[in-house]
Structure 1
C-alpha cells in the first residue's frame, strides 16, 4: 500500500533517511520521540513536501502522480492540520460531500453523536481532544482504502482513546485490503492495535519488528556487574548502565531465561523497547 525506499530529506540541522513499507491489510505503527522524523515521513508520503532523494509509492503511484480519485481513497489526520475554527461541524458536511464521492453522511453524523462531537458548535471552541476525534471521524467515513494517522489520539482521555481504537479496528474489519499507518506517543495504544512497528530515531529507522514478536520474544535483562561480564552478548540489542549494574534489551528472552536462571529477565514492553533502543548503547 505504501513503500518508501531510501527517502532522504535534508534540513539545516536534521536529515531524514527512511525506508519502510506498509503492507496491504496491515496496521503499521511509526514511533519515535518528538523531532525524530515521523511527521516529515508522513508529509513526504502524501506529497506535501519535496525530498532530496529516494522513492515513494503510495497505492501503486508516486505521490505527485495521485489523481483526485486516488486522493479520495486516502484518509489523513495531521497534527497541525484541520478545519477552520470559524466553521461548525454541520458546515463541513457539504464540503466533505463535495470532496469525497463516497462520503457517508449518515455514518458521520451517527459517529459524531456516539463520540460526543457537537454539530452546531464552532470548531474553534472545541478542545484538543474534540478536534482530534473530529479528524478521525472524517478520515474513516469516506470509504478510504488507506489511513495515514499522525498522533490521532492526542488530547483524548482513556475512554475516548479506546473508542477511537475500536473504530479503527472496525474500519479494518470492513475490508481486508485496507491499511493504516499510525504514529502515537502512547505505546499502549499501538501494542493492542498494530501488526508491525517501525522505530525512528534522529531521522533513521533503527528497528522494524512484528508486534507479536516484540511482546512475546523481547525482554529486559537486569544484571549486576559480575553477571553482565559473564553474559552472552550475541542476542543483546542495547545496553544501559544503571545504579545496580546493567539493563539489557534482548529479542531472545527465553534463551536467557533458560541459560541464565539466576538473572532477572522481564517481559518486554513497547515503552522499554523504545527507551532502550533510543537511550541505551546499541550493540
Structure 2
C-alpha cells in the first residue's frame, strides 16, 4: 500500500532519514514528540515537499507517477489543512461531489447528522471536536483505500476522541484491504487502533514493533543499585537513572519474570516506552 525507503529531507536545523511500510488491511502508527519528523514524513508522502533522497512507493507506483485517479484513493487529514472557515457543510458538499467521483453524499450527510454537525453553521464557529470530525468524515466519504492522518485527535476531549476512533474502525470494517497511517502523541489512541507502531525521534526511526508485542513483551524493570548490578542486561534496551536506583526497558518481560522473581516488573505503557527510548541510555 505504502513503502518509504531511506527518505531524506534536510532543513537548517533538522534532518529526516526514515523508512516505513503500511501493508494492505493494516493500521500503522507513527509516534514521537512534536518536531520529531512526523509531519515532514506525511508531507513528503503527499508530494507537498520535495525529498532530498530515497523513494516513496504508493499503490505500487513511485509517488511521482501517481495519477489523479490514484490520488482519489487517498483520504488525508493534516493538522494545518481544512476548508475555509466561512463555508458551511452544505456549501462543501457540492465541492466534494466535484472533487471525488466516488464521493458518497448520502453517507456523508448521514454521518453529519449522526455526529450532530450543523449543516448551516460556518465552520469557523465549530468547536475543535466538530472540526476534527468533519475532516475525518471528508477523508472517509469517497471510498479511499489509504488514510493519511496527521494528529487527527489532537486537542479533543475523551468523548470526541472515542467517536472519531469509532469512525475509523467502521471505515476499516467495510473493506479489509483498507489501510491507515496515523500519527499521534496520544498513546491510548494508538494502542487500541494500530497493528504496528514506528517511533521517530530527531528524524530517525528508533523502533518498529507490532502493537501486541509492545504491550505483551515489553516491560519496565524497577531495581535498586544492588539489583541492577546483579541483573542480566542481555535483554535491556534502555536504562534510566532514578532516585531509587534504575528503570530498565526490556522486550523480554517473561525472561525477567522467570529469572528475577524479587524485582519489580511493570507492563509499561506506550508513553513510558517513548520516554525510555528517548531519555534512557
TM-score tier, shorter chain, comes to over 0.9
- Which residue is equivalent to 1:37? 37
TM-score, reference length from structure 1? 0.98
In 2, distance between residues paired with 1:121 and 1:60? 41
CA contact 1:132–1:155 (8 Å) conserved in 2 = no
Q: Quick check: 223-232 or 155-164, which moved more?
A: 155-164
Is 1:259 the counterpart of 2:259 in the alignment?
Answer: yes
In 2, distance between residues paired with 1:168 and 1:182? 11
- Which residue is equivalent to 1:149? 149
How far 1:271 moved relative to its partner?
1.0
In 2, distance between residues paired with 1:29 and 1:71? 21
- Which residue is equivalent to 1:96? 96
How far 1:60 moved relative to its partner?
1.2
How far 1:156 moved relative to its partner?
1.9
How far 1:79 moved relative to its partner?
0.3
- Which residue is equivalent to 1:229? 229
How far 1:268 moved relative to its partner?
2.1
In 2, distance between residues paired with 1:52 and 1:122? 40
Q: Which secondary structure state, in structure 2, belongs to the residue aligned with residue 135 of structure 1? A: helix
In 1, distance between residues paired with 2:117 and 2:72? 23
TM-score, reference length from structure 2? 0.98
- Which residue is equivalent to 2:160? 160
- Which residue is equivalent to 2:73? 73
Is 1:135 the counterpart of 2:135 in the alignment?
Answer: yes
Paired residue total: 281
Q: Which secondary structure state, in structure 1, belongs to the residue aligned with residue 61 of structure 2? A: coil
CA contact 1:128–1:154 (8 Å) conserved in 2 = no
- Which residue is equivalent to 1:178? 178
Q: Which secondary structure state, in structure 2, belongs to the residue aligned with residue 6 of structure 1? A: strand
In 2, distance between residues paired with 1:156 and 1:12? 33
- Which residue is equivalent to 1:244? 244
- Which residue is equivalent to 1:191? 191
How far 1:155 moved relative to its partner?
2.3
In 2, distance between residues paired with 1:177 and 1:271? 29
* Moved >6 Å (runs of 4+): none
In 1, distance between residues paired with 2:98 and 2:64? 22
* Residue-by-residue CA offset, 1:61-117 (whole Å, 9 max, x unaligned): 222211111111100000001001111111000000001111111111111111121
Q: Which secondary structure state, in structure 1, belongs to the residue aligned with residue 117 of structure 2? A: coil
In 2, distance between residues paired with 1:225 and 1:197? 32
In 2, distance between residues paired with 1:10 and 1:150? 20
- Which residue is equivalent to 2:269? 269
* Residue-by-residue CA offset, 1:161-182 (whole Å, 9 max, x unaligned): 1111111111111111110000
Q: Which secondary structure state, in structure 2, belongs to the residue aligned with residue 220 of structure 1? A: strand
Is 1:213 the counterpart of 2:209 in the alignment?
Answer: no
Q: Quick check: 108-117 or 46-55, which moved more?
A: 108-117
In 2, distance between residues paired with 1:116 and 1:270? 33
Structure 2 gaps, min length 5: none
